[in-house]
Structure 1
Amino acid sequence: MEKLRWAIVGLGDIVRKRVGPAILEQPQSVLQACVTRDPDRRTDELRALVPGKVYTDFEQMLTDTEVDAVYIATPVFLHAPQAIAALRAGKHVLVEKPMALDASEAEAMNVAAKQAGRRLSVAYYRRFWPTFQRVHSMLEQGDFGQIVLARVALHSWYAPSPNDSNAWRVRPEYSGGGVLSDVGSHRLDLLAWWFGLPQKTVSDVRTRTQDYSVEDSATGILVFADGFPCTLSFQWNSKTWTDELHIVGSETKVSLTPTDSDEMKITCGRETTTSRLNRHPNAHYGLIDDFATSILEGRAPRFSGDDGIAATQMMDWIKQAATCRTWIEGG
């Protein structure tokens, strides 16, 4: 195989702005097909992506022997059934985050991948950014000393109109949850990558401000293996935007404010230095590049379906702790 032939399922904002352009730019990739229920409403996207074929039926696309890999960018409730069907049809699968509605669905996707002998990964693309890789290296090297605290906060205002194409995110039967699933999952994945799964969790998850059924507020404390706490605050009910991540050690502190900046502040004692680690202009490029080359080279991707379960498992525990209104064991 000289090039990986992709099909994209779903043509929302992420595909239009990032995933599609990343596949087109990746030198060993070809966009073989797109699947959309209404191509007449997606003429601009299709004109920009220029896929080899356009399908309106997902199952029909799966019979296409010229498709090697499928990028699934549909609402969360479709992730597990579509991924499992694609894997069983012999396709490799890269699925949007969160991986599934819950950890049991995510595990079923992993089982299907292993039975089919195909690659499965999840679009937690921040693992491929230099700043977060630098944090990972610092943790492996022991630069922090003893970790004593981590803090994550992401606050914004999200109140889509009923006619908004993204309004499915506030319908629990489609999304599985609100701010925790949609944006919190990215930060939880980073925590799982750096620290593993927590040992115990306490949380409060509720809808406080917005007029929809999914949560607009998720706060909590995760206690990790070394006994240090991580405080979480994810909000869709504040117009005062916040995006912060801090890791505090006995020797060194790292601050990413905003988290998605290319800059990171490293504090040792009272001395703070700022490092700038530029990423690719397309946030998804590293993810697409690694997945494509892993298949062509016959190796595992740097981020697997097994890795993808972690954030979903943490979300399950956070929701469970909020329901129980007490600490729960987990990890």
Structure 2
Amino acid sequence: MTESRFHFSEEKPLRWGVIGCGSVTEKKSVPAYKDTLGFRVDMVMRRNTEKAEDYAKRHNIPKWTTNADEVINNPNIDAIYIATPPDTHKLYALKVAQVGKPCCIEKPMAPTYEDSLAIYKAFQAKNISLFVAYYRRSLPRFLKIKQWLDKGLIGEVRHIHWQKTKPPNEVDLSKKYNWRTDATIARGGYFDDLASHGLDLFAFLLGDIVDANGFGTNQLGLYSAFDAVTANWMHEGGVTGTGSWNFGTHHRSDKVEILGSEGSIRFAILDEAPIELENASGHQTLEIPHPEHIQEFHVENIKNHLLDKAVHPSTGKTGLNTNWVMEKILGTV
């Protein structure tokens, strides 16, 4: 690591601007930025005037706007967090890269690998820090699983499988507009929104995914995006993986199992569930709760990265690989 050009503290914090103030920012992310020592949130943007002003007042943020350019170009804003739907990530990210500010982008990085690559190259060309909000790489629950794997507690890892299912929700059944199931924004539907978390985490736990394939279909006809996806993939080193995501079943499930030569590990990606280790020593179950603001450790790691104290586990490079994997599964690259 080289010496960082960022020097911030409680007395002179790094000032963040937020583009997009939807539900993900209410509890999961923005409070984490506000609570991180040395960080503060000074400005937010939302296209709706009343909602932007209300958000700023509720979160005690001094400035708000309906114009993203006012956040990006503000000389009193040091870094940008992009929390809009994925179809505008590239538009805003390229502008942030142009002005040379560190940036964190909500996941997925963009709707397509091509757009993600353009974002990655823009920040790489200027040697600016780029993060993607795959915060599970920083959560204690999943770091414990990585520790089990690194210690070889299930021997040589052979295979990983994830089954994620849920029934259609009221919005789906009413056919009301939802950008998460609009094929022009998220071709894979909930797969893009939810499976990206798991596939990204699997690369963190088991090494990069180097090949993948699969197919998607729309079984229910409730929206334009896929509602069922299946996949096969391979990690560097030869570990194989399979996954099935179906959003029209009668029940909800979220089950991951890692199979090794001497044991197995079971856990959930999205649900609150214990992690389980089974090997020759017996069966161990651990409850490791998430923090109140789930991006807390992710944001703390951004701070440590910018101070050159550590390398963040979720960067533009890792986020780009996750987009590539998802498009390989959907057959678009």
* TM-score of the two chains, using structure 2 as the length reference: 0.89
Greater shift, 136-145 or 49-58, is seen at 136-145
Q: In structure 2, do the counterparts of structure 1 residues 4 and 302 end up closer, same or farther at CA, with 3 Å as the change threshold? A: farther
Task: Pick one of 290, 296, 318 that aligns with 1:307.
Answer: 318
Which residue number corresponds to residue 188 of structure 2?
Answer: 177
CA–CA distance in 1 between the matches of 2:215 and 2:24? 29
What amino acid sits opposite 2:106 in the alignment? Answer: E
Greater shift, 238-247 or 293-302, is seen at 293-302
Shift in Å, 1:303: 2.2
What amino acid sits opposite 2:195 in the alignment? Answer: G
CA–CA distance in 2 between the matches of 1:239 and 1:96? 30
CA–CA distance in 1 between the matches of 2:168 and 2:273? 25
Which residue number corresponds to residue 134 of structure 2?
Answer: 124
Greater shift, 290-299 or 181-190, is seen at 290-299
Does structure 1 retain, via aligned residues, the 8 Å contact 2:137–2:313? no
Shift in Å, 1:139: 2.4
Task: Pick one of 44, 49, 58 that aligns with 2:59.
Answer: 49
CA–CA distance in 2 between the matches of 1:163 and 1:204? 26
Shift in Å, 1:125: 0.6
* Structure 1 position 288 matched with structure 2 position 278: no
Does structure 2 retain, via aligned residues, the 8 Å contact 1:169–1:182? yes
CA–CA distance in 2 between the matches of 1:143 and 1:263? 17
Does structure 2 retain, via aligned residues, the 8 Å contact 1:4–1:292? no
* Structure 1 position 143 matched with structure 2 position 153: yes
What amino acid sits opposite 1:318 in the alignment? Answer: I
Q: In structure 2, do the counterparts of structure 1 residues 308 and 62 end up closer, same or farther at CA, with 3 Å as the change threshold? A: same
CA RMSD in angstroms comes to: 2.2
Which residue number corresponds to residue 327 of structure 1?
Answer: none
CA–CA distance in 2 between the matches of 1:75 and 1:314? 20
After the TM superposition, which residues 218-229 of structure 1 pair with which residues of structure 2 at under 5 Å, given as runs?
218-229=229-240
What amino acid sits opposite 1:179 in the alignment? Answer: Y
Q: In structure 2, do the counterparts of structure 1 residues 246 and 157 end up closer, same or farther at CA, with 3 Å as the change threshold? A: same
Task: Pick one of 230, 234, 244 that aligns with 2:255.
Answer: 244
CA–CA distance in 1 between the matches of 2:308 and 2:231? 41
Deviation string, structure 1 residues 85-140 (Cα, Å, up to 9, x no partner):
11211211100000112222222212111222321010001111112112222222
Which residue number corresponds to residue 264 of structure 1?
Answer: 275
Which residue number corresponds to residue 3 of structure 2?
Answer: none
Which residue number corresponds to residue 277 of structure 1?
Answer: 288
Q: In structure 2, do the counterparts of structure 1 residues 95 and 248 end up closer, same or farther at CA, with 3 Å as the change threshold? A: same
Q: Percent identity?
A: 23
Q: In structure 2, do the counterparts of structure 1 residues 44 and 134 end up closer, same or farther at CA, with 3 Å as the change threshold? A: same
SS of residue paired to 2:153: coil
SS of residue paired to 2:77: coil
Which residue number corresponds to residue 18 of structure 1?
Answer: 28
CA–CA distance in 2 between the matches of 1:112 and 1:258? 31
Which residue number corresponds to residue 213 of structure 1?
Answer: 224
CA–CA distance in 1 between the matches of 2:186 and 2:211? 25
Q: In structure 2, do the counterparts of structure 1 residues 297 and 5 end up closer, same or farther at CA, with 3 Å as the change threshold? A: farther
CA–CA distance in 2 between the matches of 1:31 and 1:199? 38
What amino acid sits opposite 1:11 in the alignment? Answer: C
SS of residue paired to 2:283: strand
Shift in Å, 1:186: 0.3
Which residue number corresponds to residue 234 of structure 1?
Answer: 245
Greater shift, 224-233 or 279-288, is seen at 224-233
SS of residue paired to 1:188: helix
Q: In structure 2, do the counterparts of structure 1 residues 264 and 64 end up closer, same or farther at CA, with 3 Å as the change threshold? A: same
Does structure 1 retain, via aligned residues, the 8 Å contact 2:188–2:227? no
CA–CA distance in 2 between the matches of 1:180 and 1:213? 13
SS of residue paired to 2:108: coil
* Structure 1 position 187 matched with structure 2 position 187: no
Deviation string, structure 1 residues 228-269 (Cα, Å, up to 9, x no partner):
431201122124010111101011211114754362111014
After the TM superposition, which residues 315-326 of structure 1 pair with which residues of structure 2 at under 5 Å, given as runs?
315-320=326-331
Shift in Å, 1:41: 3.1
Deviation string, structure 1 residues 261-317 (Cα, Å, up to 9, x no partner):
362111014821112333322111111121133224576433211111121111011
Task: Pick one of 31, 39, 57 that aligns with 2:49.
Answer: 39
Which residue number corresponds to residue 4 of structure 2?
Answer: none
